[in-house]
Amino acid sequence: MFLKLGPNILVEIVLRDLKEKTLDTLNLNSIIYQRCIDDIIMIAPREHIDIFIKVVFNSFHNRLQFILEIENDRCLSFLDLLLKVKNNKIIVDWFYKRRSPTDIFPFYDPTFHKIGSIFSLVNRAIFLSHPRFHQKNIEFVINIFLNNCYPLSLFLIA
């Protein structure tokens, strides 16, 4: 019997092994570590960062090299989230990369595609952010569609 392992399975196996053989053995209680497939977010004291990247992560295997991204202005993007520290609390906003006008269905596509696109981005704007960012994110979504010749009346249908 043959078993085909997809790339996500291999990533899962290797990164679990990495965590068990490295971070779990360091016994540092102040570390927060979360992973989604091959994206990792860690919150740790600054003085440990070089050790984690050079000694722990990048020396684990010669074909694995991790890229470090440190928070900037108390913000850090992780997946589709923008984590912001305000008053020592983390609030979450929707993180979106700059879009080109071709990233959504053109207006001549079927109506159900257009409505699905609207639903998808509005859901992201709301469910991936703190309520204080909802208006900004909804306006961003509306402007994407208006700039792609979608009529405002289509939002009433959706």
What confidence tier does 1 reach under pLDDT thresholds 50, 70, 90? very low
The pLDDT of residue 12: 84
Instruction: Give the mean model confidence (pLDDT) for residues 1-11.
Output: 62
- Looking at the structure, tell me whether residues 41 and 97 fall in a common domain: no
Q: Which DSSP string do the residues of 23-77 spell out, in sequence order?
A: IHHH--TT-EEEEETTEEEEE--HHHHHIIIIIIITTS-TT--------BTTEEE
- Looking at the structure, tell me whether residues 97 and 63 fall in a common domain: no
Instruction: Kindly state whether residue 32 falls inside one of the protein's structural domains.
Output: yes
What's the pLDDT tens digit per position in 14-44? 888 888 887 766 666 667 788 888 888 888 7
Question: Which secondary structure element, helix H or strand E, spans residue 119, and what is its range?
Answer: helix 111-127
Which amino acid makes up residue 32? I
Instruction: Kindly state whether residue 112 falls inside one of the protein's structural domains.
Output: yes
Cβ atoms 79, 96 nearer than 8 A: no
Give me the number of domains the chain comprises: 2
- Looking at the structure, tell me whether residues 114 and 146 fall in a common domain: yes
- Looking at the structure, tell me whether residues 101 and 146 fall in a common domain: yes
Residues contacting 45, CB < 8 A, separation 6+: 30
- Looking at the structure, tell me whether residues 57 and 106 fall in a common domain: no
Instruction: Kindly state whether residue 76 falls inside one of the protein's structural domains.
Output: no
Cβ atoms 95, 81 nearer than 8 A: yes
- Looking at the structure, tell me whether residues 63 and 113 fall in a common domain: no
- Looking at the structure, tell me whether residues 66 and 108 fall in a common domain: no
Residues in the chain, overall count = 158
What's the pLDDT tens digit per position in 46-80? 787 887 787 778 888 888 888 888 888 999 998 88
Instruction: Give the mean model confidence (pLDDT) for residues 145-158.
Output: 78
In a 13 Å sphere around the CA of 155, the CA atoms on its Cβ side amount to 14
% of the chain at pLDDT higher than 90: 17
Instruction: Kindly state whether residue 83 falls inside one of the protein's structural domains.
Output: no
Instruction: Kindly state whether residue 82 falls inside one of the protein's structural domains.
Output: no
Which residue carries 């994206």 as its tokens? 39
Q: Which CB contacts under 8 angstroms, 24+ apart, belong to 73-76?
A: 76/41
Instruction: Kindly state whether residue 1 falls inside one of the protein's structural domains.
Output: no
Q: Which domain does 30 fall in, by range?
A: 7-70
Asked whether the predicted pLDDT for residue 2 surpasses 50, the reply is no
